Each structure stands twice: as structure tokens, then as C-alpha cells.
Amino acid sequence: MLNILNAVVAMGFFSFAANPLHAQKPPETVDLSSFPGQSIDDVLVPVPSEVFIVLDKLGNPNWRSELRGSLGHQTGNRAQVALLLGTVIAEGFVAVEAEDSEQVKDIGRRVLTLSKAINVEKAVLERSKSITEKADVKDWIAVRKEFDGALQDVKGAMQELGDDDLAQLVSVGGWIRGTEVLTSIIRKNYTTDSAELLHQPALVHFFSKKLDTLSNKRLADDDLVERIRKLLSAIAPLIGDGEGAVIPQENVTRIHKMTRDTVAAITSKGA
């Protein structure tokens, strides 16, 4: 999925299509070659930014209906907090697409709280304030840039702390939430072109490899991490390996259910 959400912030912005953010006629097909498929190792937190832009070109998704009612419950488990941070940042991009200023502000505050729990609060403090300010005036392009900037800041802070394993969990959390939303939209108006956005076997392999080689044993043995390993193994055959593989609607539905259930586990009090 464009690094499914990998691009989430492979961070190059396409011009948005509809509303103040979008202004292009939807193409008949999706040009996946426009996605930055390189630099997978540089990705920290995949969120829906660029994939969602392409989906807008395929129609007019009801982003507001994709927003979660809750941003999840934080536990003392560092693996769960990192995964939750990823899902919340991904939620931020959904809220921007929905142009929901109150939700965006709530997410900005939640990002700050979760960052504090894993010792990178200072890295996102100013970003969180700016997200609130920009959301108040509905400057959605600026809000999106602040979310992207926050991702970069978190990445730098985690590298300084030597928490590369934790950073990978943030990435995976964002990818899972992004995939849940993407499959929800695709299955509601299925086409083979839109389903092709899920054909990212290299990214699934990348995340699987990263989770299999976590150096922190406590994180590696975490129940949620093990659940996500199984999720990635289950998704791999559903998206196919070969070029031009067609992902049928039933596979999209299966991936949606698996990612939805995993997000529920990540965001649960009992995680």
C-alpha cells in the first residue's frame, strides 16, 4: 500500500483533489509509479497521507465515517504505547481528510501525551501546539505538514535515545491503522485499480523482518508484537507477490477485518 501508508510519509505531497485541498479530475486508473517506493528503511511512521490523496482521485470517500470514536487507552506497556502512538498519528491524517478541527486538536494533544510516555515529549511539544493553532483556522495543508514534521521529530528523538526497536513499532502501528482505513474505503466501492494500492509485498516483508529481528527481547516477546507478526504472515499471501496481481474483493474484506481487530487490540485498555 504505497508502502501502504509507508508513504505516509515518504513525505512528498501530491496536490489534493477536492475541497480546499483537492482540485483535480479523478483519473480512471491509479498510477502507482508515482509513489516513492524507495527509501523504505527511512520510513518511521506510515500514515495515510499520500495513499488517501490517490483514493480521493478515485471518488469522494466519506472520511468522517472512518474516524474512530476513541483514540485508545494507554497502558504502562511500552510496546503498546508505541503501537498506539502510530495508530493515533495515522488517525490524524484521517481527521485532516475529514476536515474535523476538533478531532485534529484532540489527536495533537494525544500525540503529546503518548510521546511523553516514551520519553520523546520535547520533540513534539511545539508541533502539538502548532497543530492546534492551524486546526483552529482550518489550514489543513499546514496541519498535514505539522503532522509530517512531528513524525520526523519523533524519529530523530528515538534515534538519539537508541530506541530504534520502539520506532519500528510506531511505524507498524500507523501502518496497521492506515491499512484498516484504506481497506474500509476500498471494499465500499471496490475496483481492481483501488485494490492494487494494497499490493506492497516488499513493505510487508520489511515489517516482518524488522519485527523478527528486534534487539530488545522484552519488546520482541510482547504479546501484541507476536500478534502483529502473525497478522503480517496472514496478509502476505492475500496481497500476492507477482507484478500485476489482482487482489479480489474478498481479500480486501479479510485484510480489513484482521487489521480492524488488531487496532482494537492495540487501543484496548487490556492490551
**Which sign does the torsion angle of CA 168, 175, 202, 237 carry?**
positive
| Domain presence at residue 156 | yes
Q: Alpha-carbon distance 195 to 216, whole Å?
A: 35
Q: What is the pLDDT of residue 271?
A: 67
| Domain presence at residue 95 | yes
| Domain presence at residue 164 | yes
Is the pLDDT at 52 greater than 70, yes or no? no
Q: Alpha-carbon distance 239 to 246, whole Å?
A: 8
| Domain presence at residue 26 | no
Number of structural domains in the chain? 1
| Amino acid, single-letter form, for residue 250 | E
| Domain presence at residue 18 | no
User: How many Cα atoms are found within 13 Å in the side-chain-facing hemisphere of 134?
Assistant: 19
| Amino acid, single-letter form, for residue 136 | D
User: What are the start-end ranges of the E strands in the chain?
Assistant: none
DSSP 37-55: -S-GGG-----SHHHHHHH
Q: How far is C-alpha 188 from the chain's CA centre?
A: 20
For residue 249, the enclosing domain spans 43-267
Supply φ then ψ for residue 61, to 5 degrees.
Answer: -60, 145
Q: Is the pTM of this model over 0.75?
A: yes
Q: Encode pLDDT of 150-208 as tens digits.
A: 877 887 788 788 888 988 898 899 889 989 998 999 999 899 988 988 888 888 998 99
| Domain presence at residue 64 | yes
Is the pLDDT at 28 greater than 90, yes or no? no
| Domain presence at residue 213 | yes
Q: Encode pLDDT of 68-125 as tens digits.
A: 988 999 988 999 999 999 899 889 988 998 999 999 999 999 999 999 999 899 988 9
| Domain presence at residue 172 | yes
